[in-house]
Each structure stands twice: as C-alpha cells, then as structure tokens.
Amino acid sequence: MNISNADTIKIRRITSELQKEHDRIRLKFKFLKFQNFIGLSILILSVTGIVISSYLWYEDLMSTLFLVLTVAFWNSILHELEHDLIHGLYFKKVKFIHNMMLFTVWFFRPLTLNPWIRTYWHYNHHQHSGQKIDIEERGVTNGEKWSFLRLLITPDLVLGFLLRLRRLKREIKQEKQNEKFSEKDSKKLKSTVLFGMLPFGIPLHLLFYFWIILKSLFYFALFSPANWSSSFFEISNPIIYIFVLPNIIRQFCLHLITSNMHYYGDIQEGNILQQTQVLNRWWTWPFQLFCFNFGSTHSIHHFVVNEPFYVRQMSMKKSHEVLKQEGIRFNDTTSFKNANHYWPK
C-alpha cells in the first residue's frame, strides 16, 4: 500500500526541519566538523572509564554495585557509537580504523550480536520497521505481549531466541511464502543464528547461567562449597562483574525502551510517521540513563539517519517541537498494553 501524499509531504517537512536544526548546530559549534576525531575520542574515553573502574574495583577502591552501574553507563555510550559506525559516520574511508572501532565496541559489549552481521539487520530494520521481518526489533521483544516471559527475555538475546524459536520460524516461513523475506535474507538469518553470538556471546551466557545457578545453590545452602568453587569464582567474578552484568543491565534498559517506542504489526510499511514514538516520561529516566536517552532521540534518527548520536542530543529540544507539531506520538503507553500496535485494539 502506497503512502498517502499527505503523509509523504509531512515526512519531507519533518526531515527538512530536523536537518535545518542539525545544520544550525553544526554552524554554531565548529568543532563538530571533526567527526572522526570526536568518534575516536568518545571510544577512548569510554574504554578508559571502563578500565579505570575495573582497576579501582580490583583494588577494593570501588564497590561491585558501583562498578557494574558505571560500566553499564559507559557501555551505553559504546552502543550509540556502534550504531553510528554501522551508518558509516566515522572513518568510512579508513577501513582499518573503522573495523578496529567496531571490534572494540563489540569486545566491551560481548553479549551483543556481531556488529558486522548486525549491520545487515539494522539496514533491514530501516527498510521494514514494524514488520514481521524486522529481525532486529523482533529480536529484542518488539511486538510481544507483556508477560513474565517478555520480562525474562528482554535483556537476553539467547533465551529470547530459544524460547520463541518455533513461533519465529513459523512467522519467517509465512513471510517467505508472501515473498517479503528474500532468499538472501534467509541465508543471512541462518548465518546469524549459527555465528552471530560467537565467539563471545554464547560462552559468556553459558558462564553466566552456571554462575547464577551456583551462587543460588550456595546462598540457599543446597550445595556445599568445594575446593574448585573458590577457584571458579576467583576467575569468573571479574568476567561477570565487568563484562556480563553491566551488559545485562544495559541491554534490559535499552531493549525495554526500544521495543516499546517502536510500533509493530499494524503500521504502513515505509511510513516513518508510524514507526516510532518519543518515549521520555519521567519514569523512563532510570532506563534512559543506561541507554543514553534513546527514548528521546531515536525517533529523530528515523527521519535523519546520517547524524551522530551526540548531535541528536543537541538538537533534541527543537526536534521535539517539530515532531509534536507534526503529530508524532509522545509517551503512548497504550502500546504497552496491545503488543506495541499503533492502532488501539
């Protein structure tokens, strides 16, 4: 179904107004032209923050809780940086540095999908946002009815895949029959399932599950500590506290926000007006802290994809005025009740 002329005009008007604001900001802040330098500096700053926090924790100068929350915050910035890299915003012509940055943000966020594989599905997301074949958003629970199951799998890509495997296979098969999911997409999905969470994600998830079970058994006195258990925790605790738990927290916050600010299932394909809402109500702020204010700024990205995350933050006030004026929804909590559908049921 074609997008109406009225909606097409509105999309162009929003895009134009948002781009004007970004241009105004770039004209005012001349340093923004050094985009490659800024991106690399953000990477170095974030990694340095993680390393220093880890060292202070190791030396008993920082509590475990503060370590986990601090690393989760730095990782939220690395996620935004990865997203910008996927859109080719830093060192696009210097592949070695570009790939080095991609690997670094993946290494410190090891529970995520391989970023080179994610690139394919992220472009697919922009083309088919809100549809059954939007693999990226479906993977983080967009379109699921709220239940204990959705709460459980919100931060966990592995559990989310395993517990929904049969239904997701059925949906993809149906979309292939409808010729909406190509043979290329199908091959890419198979390679994503087999290799997307390797070499980091699958082993670290298995380690985390075993760590949780063992901790629980000891806590409830169902299992007596053995000689090997102290050695296991001595090795596993730094991995869990630096690489796993911060990313579990970060992913829960990000996936909660993104899966509920994107609409699903009953929107017109390609109609950007219906793809997202702005989600920034006061109760979202504890979650926004660990996904770098994603709920307030991601709708801007759907209209203007080629601006870095920090410019979207700088343009947020004016951008929100434009989005409100043109009828983009803000804090539509009814979508939580009806599996993220756009139209009320």
Q: Which residues pair with 330 in a beta bridge?
A: 278
- Cα-only R_g, the chain: 21
Burial of 131 (0-12, 13-18, 19+ CB in 10 A): buried
Map residue 330 onto helix, strand or coil. Answer: strand
Asked if residues 294 and 256 have their Cβ atoms less than 8 Å apart, the reply is: no
What's at 235, amino acid-wise?
A: I
Give, in order, the Cα–Cα distances in Å from 336 to each of 46, 127, 142, 296, 333. Answer: 33, 24, 10, 17, 5
Q: How confident is the model at residue 145 (pLDDT cuts 50, 70, 90)?
A: very high
Sequence spans of domains, the chain: 5-337
Measure the CA–CA gap between 57 and 165, rounded to whole angstroms. 39
**Which structure tokens are listed for 268?**
């017109």
pLDDT at 128 over 90: yes
**Across all residues in the chain, what is the average pLDDT?**
95
User: pLDDT of 211-252, one tens digit each?
Assistant: 999 999 887 777 777 778 889 999 999 999 999 999 999 999
| DSSP string covering 239-274 | HIIIIIHHHHHHHHHHHHHHHHHB--SSSPTT-GGG
Cα-Cα-Cα-Cα dihedral sign, residues 65, 66, 67, 68: positive
Asked if residues 18 and 303 have their Cβ atoms less than 8 Å apart, the reply is: yes
Measure the CA–CA gap between 308 and 315, rounded to whole angstroms. 11
pLDDT at 1 over 70: no
- Going by C-alpha positions, the residue among 297, 326, 300, 291 that lies closest to residue 313 is 297
Q: What is the DSSP letter of 2?
A: P
Q: How confident is the model at residue 59 (pLDDT cuts 50, 70, 90)?
A: very high
φ, ψ for residue 80, nearest 5 deg: -65, -40
pLDDT at 201 over 80: yes
Alpha helix positions (H), 178-240 = 183-195, 201-219, 227-239
pLDDT at 179 over 80: yes
Residue range 41-60: mean pLDDT, rounded: 98
Residues with Cβ within 8 Å of 222's Cβ and at least 6 positions away in sequence, in order, are: 216
For residues 281 and 222, the model is more confident at 281
User: pLDDT of 267-279, one tens digit each?
Assistant: 999 999 999 999 9
254-263 in b/e form (b: 16+ CB < 10 A) is bbbbbbbbbb
Residue found under tokens 């996904």: 291
Asked if residues 40 and 101 have their Cβ atoms less than 8 Å apart, the reply is: yes
